[in-house]
Amino acid sequence: MLGAIIRHGLAAVFSWSVVCLWGLAAQAISIAEVTPATVPTQPGAPSMPTLRVTGMIEPGDADKLSAALRKIGALTPSKSGAPVATVEFSSIGGSLPDGFEIGMLMRKSGVMAVVRKGDLCMSSCALAFLAGNVHAPSSVYPTECNLAIGGEVAFHNFFLNPNGLRESTLVDPVQSRLQGFTDARSGTALLAKYAGNLGMPPNFVANLIGRPVDRFLYIETVDQFLSFHVCPIGIDRPAIPIDMQARNICNNSIGVSGRAEALIATPMVLAQAKLNLLQRLQENMQSSKAKGRLAAQLASGAVMRVKDEIDRLYEDLRAAGVALPDIVGPTFEIGSKESGAYEARCYVSLSSDDPDNFDVAVQGPRGFAEPSRVPPRNARRLFLFDRDDIINPHR
C-alpha cells in the first residue's frame, strides 16, 4: 500500500512528456488488440498477439497494460527467451514512474516493444520502449526487430509537474526549494536505477539530465542503435563500395576511435584467400592453437601446395578453434599505417548477396584472435555502416 502511495505521489510530481512544451491536450492511454492481418509482416517472423498502445502515459497505465496482456495470455515469459507478444507504441510520453513500470512489466513478461513507421514514441514512452527488447533475438533479419525506419523514438530531460508541486509544497519558499530539490534527486535516482537494469551506456543518464527539457535525443545513428540494443526494421546494406563496408566491419569489431576511412583495405584473390591466411598463420605458430597433426600439416610445404589439402586444413583449423574467418565472399586485409609502418588489423570476408553474412578475424600481438565486439544477432548488417552514420533521421 505504501509503495502505491509513493508511486502515485511521484507520478503527480514528475512529468517526462511534451504536453507542457507543445500545448497538447492530455489524452489517456488506450490499448487495442491488433489482429494478425493488420500487423506489418516481417519475413520469417512468427505470428504473436499484438497490442497497440496510444495516448498519454498516466498513473495506473501499467496496471491497465498488465490486464490487457493477461487477457491475451502474454504474462508468462517463454522458456526460449523469444517474445510472447508485441506492444506497438505511439505516445508522446507522460508520467515518468509509470513509464518505468510499463517498461519493467514488458521485460519481466518477455514482451517486445515496437515503434512502426510514422509513429512517435517520446519521453517516458521511449524509456518504456527500451525495456521491450527481446533477450534471445532471432538470427534472421528482421525477425524481432523493433524500430522501423521512419518511426521516431526520442528522449529528453524530465521536469517537475507544477500541479503536483502545488499539492506537495508549502508557502515557505525555503521549504518549497528543498522539496523541489528532493523530488528532482528522487527522479534522477529512479532514472539511474532503471537505466542500470536495462544495461544502458554509463553516460546515458548524464546526457539526459544535462539536456534542456525541450531538446530531444533521437535514436538516429548506428551507434545509438547498437548502444541502446535497438534493432532497425527496413535497413539494407549501405550504398558504399564493398571494401568500405569491410573497413567498417573491422573498425566496429575492434572498437577503436576514428572513422574507418583512414584504414587501408587490400583485397585478396578469392581463390588464394585461404592459402594467404594460412601463410600468415604460419608466421606465428605458437598462437595458432594447432597441435599434433594440424601443426605438422600447417608446417608442411607439400600440403600448402594442394588446393584440396589447403581447404581441408583451413576448415580443420577453424573447427579446432583457430580464429580464421569463414570465407563467404570478397575477402580483405584491413590495416593502417602507424608511424609510417603498415600494420594489419583484421581479415574480413563478406557476402555480396547477404548483408548479414560476414566474418572477421582480428590480428593481435600473438596472431589471429576473435573480435572484441560482435554485431547483434538480429541485425548484423549494422556493422557494415560507420557508427556515426545516420540511418533513421527524425522528421
**Residue 188, pLDDT above cutoff 80:** no
- Span 307-313, mean pLDDT? 91
Higher pLDDT, 22 or 210: 210
**Higher pLDDT among residues 267 and 287, named by residue:** 267
Over residues 30-36, mean pLDDT: 81
Residue of higher predicted confidence among 331 and 14: 331
d(CA 299, CA 241): 36
Q: What is the mean pLDDT of the chain?
A: 83
What value does the mean pLDDT take over residues 72-82?
87
Integer-rounded Cα radius of gyration of the chain: 26
- Select the highest-mean-pLDDT range: 77-81, 161-165, 179-183: 77-81
On whether the CB atoms of residues 382 and 264 are closer than 8 A, the answer is: no
pLDDT of residue 79: 84
Q: What is residue 57's predicted lDDT score, i.e. its pLDDT?
A: 94
Structural domains of the chain, ranges and CATH numbers in brackets: 2-233 (3.90.226.10), 242-378 (no CATH)
Mean pLDDT of all residues in 368-379: 92
The model carries a pTM of 0.84
**Is 166 in a helix, a strand, or coil?**
helix
Classify each residue of 221-252 as buried b or exposed e, where b means 16 or more C-beta atoms within 10 Å of its C-beta.
bbbbbbbbebbbbbbebbeeebbbbbbbbbbb
Distance CA 362, CA 370 (A): 6
State the pLDDT confidence band at 379, using cuts at 50, 70 and 90.
Answer: very high
Q: What does the pLDDT average to over 343-360?
A: 95
- Here the cell at position 9 is 505521489
**pLDDT grade for 17, boundaries at 50, 70 and 90:** very low
Q: Please give the average per-residue pLDDT across 77-97, as a whole number.
A: 90
Spatial distance between the Cα atoms of 32 and 1, rounded to a whole number of angstroms: 29
Residue written as grid cell 528522449: 155
Most distant pair of Cα atoms in the chain: their distance: 92
Burial 347-365 (b: 16+ CB within 10 A, else e): bbbbbeeebbebbbbbbee
pLDDT at 18 over 80: no
Give, rounded to a whole angstrom, the gap between the first and last alpha carbons of the chain: 43
Q: Which amino acid is at 58?
A: E
User: Rounded mean pLDDT of 243-255?
Assistant: 95
Q: Is 332 helix (H, G, I), strand (E, B) or coil?
A: strand
DSSP symbol at 154: E
Confidence of residue 21 (pLDDT cuts 50, 70, 90): very low
pLDDT of 201 = 85
Q: Cα–Cα distances in Å, from 186 out to 160, 196, 217, 367?
A: 11, 15, 22, 50
CA distance 242 to 332: 10
34 touches 52 (CB < 8 A): yes
> Residue 162: which of 104, 213, 123, 230 has the closest Cα?
213
What tens digit of pLDDT does each residue of 142-152 get? 888 999 999 99
* Residue 261, C-alpha cell as written in the block: 576511412
